[in-house]
Amino acid sequence: MTDAKPTDAAPTDAKPDPSRRVYETPPTDRPITEAEAARAAKLAANEHIKIASGYLRGTLADGLLKHATGAISEDDGQLVKFHGMYLQDDRDLRPERTKKKLDKAYSFMIRLRIAGGVVTPKQWLVLDDIATTYAGGALRATTRQTFQYHGVIKSNLKRAMAAIDSALLDTIAACGDVNRNVMAATNPAQVQAHKAAYQLGKDISDSLLPKTNAWREIWLDGERVVGGEDAAEVEPIYGKTYLPRKFKIVVAVPPSNEVDVFAHDLGFIAILDKKGAVTGWNVTVGGGMGMTHGETDTFPRTADVMLFCAPADAVKVAEAVMTVQRDWGNRTNRKNARLKYTIERYGLAAFRAEVEKRVGKTLADPKPFTFTSNGDRFGWTPGEDGRHHLTLYVPSGRIKDVEGGPRFLTGLRRIAEVHEGDFRLTANQNVIIANVPEAQRAAIEALVDEYGLTKGAGALRRNSIACVALPTCGLALSESERFLPGLMDELETSLARHGLQDEPITIRSTGCPNGCARPFIAEIALVGRGPERYHLYLGAAFDGSRLGKLYREDASPAEIVETLDPLFADYAKGRKKGEHFGDFLIRAGHVARTVNGPDFHDRTGALKTAAAA
C-alpha cells in the first residue's frame, strides 16, 4: 500500500460515485433511555434489557444462587456479555441429554480484557491455574488478542473471577455493546513503535471502560455504591443504553497489518518517521466482518481511512468516534447497528465533520503508509533494544497439552516460571515469548524444544485462523476449529503438487457468518452454512485491505479441495513475480473484485471455469 487508500482499490470505472449517493440526515438527539419512550419507538429488545438492567446488574446476583439449573435467565444471558461471559452448552452432548430428558450441559465462556495482549509471567501462571482448575486444562488465545476459557460451570464463576482479579486482570467489557478488548500491533522488531501502539491501546481501553460498579458487586461481592444504579454519573460516556452494538478498536504499525485494521469499527495506523518513531495516527472507521446468510442488507465491510491525528489527540478521537456511533447507530435493528452501517447510512463526510466537532478542531487528511501482510513473524526476532522475541505457532490458539504432540500448557507454564520478560498474544491466535535477554535465550529455547512447542509451520498454516464453533458456540452452523486442520492437510498436498507449498496464502474458517476469525478478508475463506457445508470466498488481499467474493456455495470439504486444486494449478502457471493468490484470481478473471461492503453480494460465483489440473 503506497497511499492512504486500501491496497488494490477498484479501478476508477468500478467505484461508486459518491456525488450521486443520497445520505440520510443524522439524528441530533441522544439515545432514548426511558422505558416508555423505548417501547413507543419500538427499539430492539436488547435496548429494553439495558434500560431495565440498573447499569448491567439485572438479576445476575440472584441467578447465580439458583442451583437447580446451570443456566441463567434469558435477559441476564444478554447482560452477562458485558461482564465478559457467554452462556453456552456442550452441543456434542445435546442429543444424549435430550434423549434422557436432562437439562443441557450448560457452562460459560469467560473472555478477559487485556489491552494489547500483554501479560507478565506471574499473570500467566495465575491464568494457567484457572485453566487447570475450572476450564478443563485449556487456555485459548483468541482473535481479539486476549484469553478466553470454555466450560466454566455456574458454581465456579465467582471463584474463577476472583482468581482473575487476583492477577490484576478482569473481564469487564470483553463482550457486549461496548468498546471491547483493544488490540495493538505486536511486531517485536519495532520496539519503539510497539511501545507507542501498546500505550495508545491501553489508554483508549482505560478511557472507554464502563464505569458501573456492577462487575465488582456481582463477582467479587464488592460493596454497593451509595445510590447504586440511580447515580447519574455512573456512565458518563455510555449512558443507560451503552452502544447499539459491539465496538472494536485496533492499533496497527506498518508494514505489518497483523491486527487487521480494516476489519474493525475504529483503527489507528501509525505513521512513522525515518527513525521508526510514531509521528501521528491515520484513523480508520467503519470496518466489520459479521453478516447474515441470505440477507443482502447485511455485509462485511473494510474500513475507510478518514483522517490523521497527532498523538496528543488520539484518545479524544477514539472517544468522539465511539460517541457519534452511540448517538447515530441503529437501535431498532441490531443486524444493521454496527458502525459500518452508520457510515453507509450517513456518509463518511458527515461522520468526520461530527467527529471533528466533538474533538474541537479540524483534523488533517490521512498520510501515506504501506502494509505488506496481515500475518505473524515466527521464530526468533531481535528487537531494536538487543532483546529477543520468540513467536510460537499455536493452532487455533488452543493452549493445551496435546497427546503425542506439543504440550503447550505445561511448556508455557515452565517458561513462565523462569521468564524475565513478558508474553504477548497476537491477533492471529499465536503467542510471543517477548523481551528475552540474550543470556536467557538458550534456556527458553531448551524448554521450547523439551515440550515440543512449534516455532513455525507450513506456509498455509502460518496464515490460518479458525474460530471455536462447535461444540460450545451456540451460533455455529458447522465445525471450524476441529475442521480446518484436516482440510489444510489436503490443501497442502494440492499446493505441493503444483509447487506452491512455500507460497503464503491466508486461509480462515468460521462456523457461521458472524466472522469472529475475520474470514472475509482471507484469500481463502470457509464460512459455515450447515453440517459439513461451507460457503467458499476467494479474492481478498493478502494484506487484509480487500474483501473476498463468494465463489462457491454450500461446498462439502471434498468439494472445497476439488474447487481449489485447478485454481492452484492456474496460479502456479500464470502468476506474476510476487503476485499473491487473491490478486491473481481477480487479474486472471476467476472472481470479481469486491470494492467494499455494499458491493459484497454483487457479481458472485466463478466468472470462468478453472480447467482441471
List residues with catalytic annotation: 111, 180, 246, 248, 467, 473, 512, 516
DSSP code, position 256: B
Calpha distance 226→602 (Å, rounded):
55
Q: Closest Cα to residue 265, out of 220, 323, 211, 316?
A: 323
Distances (CA, A) of 522 to 55, 94, 331, 509: 38, 33, 30, 9
Q: Identify the burial level of 202 via C-beta atoms within 10 angstroms of its C-beta, where 0-12 means exposed, 13-18 middle and 19 or more buried.
A: middle
- 591 is written with which cell numbers? 472472481
Q: What are phi and psi of 91, to 5 degrees?
A: -75, -20
Report the run of H or E that residue 551 belongs to, with start and end: strand 549-555
Distances (CA, A) of 291 to 107, 246, 304, 348: 26, 14, 18, 21
Q: For the chain, give me the number of helices (H) and strands (E)?
A: 18, 20
Q: What are phi and psi of 573, to 5 degrees?
A: -85, -35
CB atoms within 10 A of CB 471: 18
- What is the three-class DSSP state of 245? coil
Q: Closest Cα to residue 178, out of 55, 303, 316, 333?
A: 55
| Residue whose grid cell is 455455529 | 476
Which residues have a Cβ under 8 Å from the Cβ of 331 and sit 6 or more positions away? Answer: 31, 32, 43, 44, 47, 241, 244, 337
Q: What are phi and psi of 17, to 5 degrees?
A: -90, 110
Calpha distance 201→199 (Å, rounded):
5
Residue type, 476: A
| Residue whose grid cell is 446488574 | 57
Q: Closest Cα to residue 338, out of 287, 303, 297?
A: 287
Q: Closest Cα to residue 354, out of 321, 384, 389, 401?
A: 321
Residue type, 552: R
Calpha distance 29→13 (Å, rounded):
39
